[in-house]
Amino acid sequence: MLGTEKQNFDILICGAGPGGAALASICADRGISTALIERQSGFSNEFRGEGIMPSGYEALKSIGFDLDRMKLPMQKNLRGKVYNKTEPLISFEFPFRRQGGLRWVSQPALLEHMIKDSLTKNNFTFFRGCRALDVLRENNRVSGLKVSQKGEEFDVKAKTVIGFDGRNSMLRRKLRFKVLDFKQIIDVVWFKVPYPHEFLDRGTALVNILNKGFMVCPACYNDELQIGWIIAKGSYGEIKKVGEDAWISEIQRQCPQGLADHLERNRNKISNKFVLSVQLDRCTTWSSDGVLLLGDAAHTMNPVGAQGVNIALRDAIVAANHLVPLLSGNPTHTSLDKAFEDIEMERLREVKPIQDFQKKPTTLLKKQNPLTLFLIRNLSCITRLEFIQRKILKLADMMAYGVTKVELKV
């Protein structure tokens, strides 16, 4: 790299997660001069959500990335089983299985594929292992970012800056966005084990309701089971003190026998352990000083319904619909700010109801009052009621397909 300033771009996207990579791909493909920066040198260096619903699948497909035609590590979840500790409650087929069910896709592999495709376009620049340090300003408006890559600091300037930089967004912090924090009372310990074929049919997601919590276990690529163990927020420090053998034993004690036996046989094959601090929040406004936040930077999602990746991809499509026509010409600050407001308003119609739903299950299951325990014990009978089935299908439809129609129009 020569000099301390890179060329000016039409759009600078901070964060190369699924949403940032998708928006960059669309813009570069439409002739927009695009810069994408990513602080990690490798996409596997941090935990990333990997559940892709039909809404996310369709979003990727419309951009040009059809998961069913790509050779990526992926496993489809087409059915589910629910247990109350050791007792089976219900088994069911996903109502959206015809659209591929819940796809569990390697995010590092997907992102590398998307970046490789974008690099074939002359107007795309990718800054890998590049940390955003601060915003640059001209005339009281953000005009780019000061970044650091391999020990060298330089400036990257653009007509517009998009923050797809996740739950720990530098842009959210530096520009002091106000946040509505829907306080969460849980964290999740994620880890993987070999898939228990002797206990679960291939492509089955397991939910196990435990004392004061639950486990969510989707079938994962590479013939593994992804286990999410929900614990009280901030309690992992105490759990860690007792040692891994002790907490695995506690999980086994409350598991169906088949899974407990499988964990015992595979104690030395537990991998990819990560503790996720669960957040659910939303910025009161998504734009400030010429910067637009999207994805987790604007609205952190919790794990309920595997929505994070899907919402971010749909954010990218709506943003592209508004920004590509402007950036193809000579946008004014006023026109960009109006586009930012329109994007936020359009996406809030989906983000708000999904976040409202995500507030409920974790609190309900964590408290486990007498009514909750009664409902859990009688889940098999309750789910046979016609009005309950209609409500479940409505919720499943929202989680699978989204709330609003999102279509790539540019």
- The yes-or-no verdict on residue 79 having pLDDT over 50 is yes
- The yes-or-no verdict on residue 11 having pLDDT over 60 is yes
pLDDT (tens digit per residue) in 119-129: 999 999 999 99
How far is Cα 123 from Cα 327, in angstroms, rounded to an integer? 13
What stretch of H or E contains 9?
A: strand 5-14
How far is Cα 246 from Cα 259, in angstroms, rounded to an integer? 16
**Least confident piece of the model among 106-120, 141-155, 355-369:** 355-369
**Higher local confidence (pLDDT), 393 or 31:** 31
Percent of the chain with pLDDT over 90: 71
> pTM for this structure?
0.93
Find all residues with CB under 8 Å of 45, minimum gap 6, and list them: none
How far is Cα 322 from Cα 336, in angstroms, rounded to an integer? 9
What average pLDDT does the segment 387-391 reach?
Answer: 80
**pLDDT averaged over the chain?**
91
- The yes-or-no verdict on residue 271 having pLDDT over 70 is yes
**Least confident piece of the model among 3-17, 125-139, 293-307:** 3-17
How far is Cα 390 from Cα 383, in angstroms, rounded to an integer? 10
pLDDT (tens digit per residue) in 367-376: 566 766 666 6
How far is Cα 117 from Cα 129, in angstroms, rounded to an integer? 18
Find all residues with CB under 8 Å of 150, minimum gap 6, and list them: 129
Find the DSSP H helices in 78-231.
Answer: 107-118, 170-174
What average pLDDT does the segment 121-145 reach?
Answer: 95
Find all residues with CB under 8 Å of 107, minimum gap 6, and list them: 17, 18, 43, 48, 49, 50, 309
Domain ranges of the chain: 5-74+104-182+280-366, 186-232+234-277
What is the amino acid identity at position 93?
Answer: E
Tokens standing for residue 89: 């409650």
- For domain 5-74+104-182+280-366, the question of CATH label 3.50.50.60 is answered with yes
What average pLDDT does the segment 158-180 reach?
Answer: 96
What average pLDDT does the segment 53-64 reach?
Answer: 97
To which residue do tokens 């228990």 refer?
196
Give the CA-trace dihedral at 393, 395, 399, 400, to 10 degrees: 10
